[in-house]
Amino acid sequence: MQFSFKRLLLPVLVLTFFLPSCWAYGAPATGAAVDFTDLSGHWAKQSIEKIYAIGYVTGFPDNTYRPDQPVNCLEALTMVLDGANYGEQIAKMKKQKNASPSLYPVPWGQHYLDFAVQQKFLPEGMLKNFQYDRPITRAELASVLARAFYFTASGSQGTFTDTQNIPEDNRTDVQAVSKNGLMSGYNDGSFRPAGRVSRGEMAAILAKLYDQGWIHLDPKRKLTGWVSKVTAAKNGLEIELNSLNGIQKVNANANCKGYWQGTAMDLQQAVNYRVEILLDTKKKAAYVEFLERRNFTPAQQEVYVSYLRLAEGEPVIMTVKNSISQEVDYPVAWDAEVTDDKSKSKTKKDLLKKLKENQYLKLGLTPGGTVKSVNILDTKTITGEISSLDRKLQLVGKRSSSKYVPDQFYGWSSGRLIDKDGDEISDIDVGDKVKITYIGEPFYERVLEIQKL
């Protein structure tokens, strides 16, 4: 990240980051639709809009953000502690009665500062003659970040051209945040430890923490899936989002921002992209990150399996049992189509999570073995005694004049053979009593499993 920016000369103003214990001068509610007027062409525009959507920063009453204005010590500390999810522990400190007066009194955020001192998140040099409202330095912010998130600088470390200028109690912390990709040096190889940190730079660091998974957002405020439709509705644009969990529709707020690899995108262009949507407090889309475009790779192989379990993650992993009773793991594509033979609907319910163990499926696989389609099969069963067995399996006396009942099965050897306990067996014979699980229309049955009783 390049930090050599011209600082704005501004009168003394209260920095309006929206935080639980921080002054918010005329700040709007978290996630409210605001289009900052002073971000055009600014390098940190995307980070600011993302972190604003999450609710970590706000702007000023005149709809500006002032990205080049410096962040003071207490503002930076409060944001880092909130991002590191110490809110619950800090709240407990507020409830303590008869607590000793703080050694470092401040007009707001006292419990944040006391907690940070207690946990030794602040370097000694920062606490000497502590001034809450002076701009925080890059070295000090590196220490607060490294200590609050417990970043380490183990292994071989790179050096900056001005390492000797980094205070001793900040040096390891600077290496730690550099190693974790949060704060980098300048083009000349320097770190500039005494340099100020701007609001734009702070937003960029918070955005990196979020992207790396260090900042956790309430799961109810984040949606992931691929966009099948964007339409104009009464309350603005409506986004139809598909995922393995089903279909959701969400309205975008008036100033919802969209980005693809750092480039601003019109939300109408989101169709057939996998996206992550951040919701505001009114459950409207406030920010849309375009993650990847659908590649429409067709399924080129079909396999019949029975379901065992599903492991959530990126990607989702489905474990199944194949026709020879082997367990196989398949990654499931994020745009996989899920259908149910009984309902004939496409991904309209949370079908995958409703699967039961040993339920039969037909999977469509790409050449690389990724699941692109999941068909939940409508299976039938029949029980009888084997009367003959060659290319065709014939059951004893199953024909009926009033109702079609299958009594012969071609291609039966492609089905799984198991005993009454469900364990694999190698063969069956004439005279065996069996239970046959099959699919298909009359006279075109396909055997999935034969269980010897």
Asked whether the beta carbons of 102 and 94 are under 8 A apart, the reply is: no
Sequence-distant (6+) residues with CB within 8 A of 40 are: none
pLDDT of residue 400: 61
* 278 in Cβ contact with 295 (< 8 Å): no
> What pLDDT, on a 0 to 100 scale, did the predictor assign at position 26?
32
User: Is 449 or 10 the better-scoring residue by pLDDT?
Assistant: 449
Quote the pTM value: 0.78
Higher pLDDT, 352 or 411: 411
Residue 53 has pLDDT above 80, yes or no: yes
Q: What number is the average pLDDT over the span 373-387? A: 94
Q: Rounded CA gap, 67 and 203, in Å?
A: 9
**Number of CB atoms found within 10 A of residue 38's CB:** 17
What pLDDT was estimated at residue 117? 95
Helix (H, G, I), strand (E, B) or coil at 385: strand
User: Rounded mean pLDDT of the chain?
Assistant: 87
Indicate if the pLDDT at residue 346 is higher than 90.
no
pLDDT at 24: 37
Within 73-154, residue ranges assigned H as helices are 73-83, 87-94, 110-118, 124-127, 138-148
% of the chain surpassing 70 pLDDT: 89
pLDDT for 32: 56
Residue 159 has pLDDT above 90, yes or no: no
Q: Is the pLDDT of residue 110 over 90?
A: yes
pLDDT of 357 > 90? The answer is yes
Chain segment 193-250, per-residue pLDDT in tens: 999 999 999 999 999 999 999 998 899 999 999 999 999 988 889 999 998 888 899 9
Contacts of 445 (CB under 8 A, 6+ apart): 406, 409, 438, 439
Q: Give the residue-averaged pLDDT of 381-388.
A: 94
pLDDT of residue 403: 78
Give residue-wise pLDDT tens across range 403-425. 788 889 999 999 999 999 989 99
More confident residue, 158 or 89: 89
349-363 average pLDDT score: 87
Per residue in 23-36, pLDDT (tens digit) is 333 333 445 567 89
- What pLDDT sits at residue 341? 87
pLDDT in tens, 137-149: 999 999 999 999 9
Confidence of residue 4 (pLDDT cuts 50, 70, 90): very low
Strands 246-260 and 285-293: parallel
The answer to whether the beta carbons of residues 437 and 422 sit under 8 Å apart is no
Tokens of 182: 């949060």
What is the model's pLDDT at position 78?
Answer: 94
Per-residue model confidence as pLDDT tens digits over 268-284? 999 999 999 999 989 99
| pLDDT (0 to 100) of residue 155 | 60
Contacts of residues 233-240 at CB distance under 8 Å and 24 or more positions apart, as own/partner, are 236/284, 237/267, 237/268, 239/267, 239/270, 239/277, 239/285, 239/288
Per-residue pLDDT for 106 more than 70? Answer: yes
Q: Once rounded to an integer, what is the mean pLDDT over residues 153-166?
A: 80
The confidence band for 95, taking pLDDT boundaries of 50, 70 and 90, is low
Terminal Cα-to-Cα distance of the chain (whole angstroms): 69
Mean pLDDT of 291-318: 92
| % the chain with pLDDT above 90 | 72
Could you give phi then psi for residue 93, rounded to 5 degrees?
-65, -35
Average pLDDT for 382-398: 91
What DSSP element (H or E) covers 175? helix 168-179
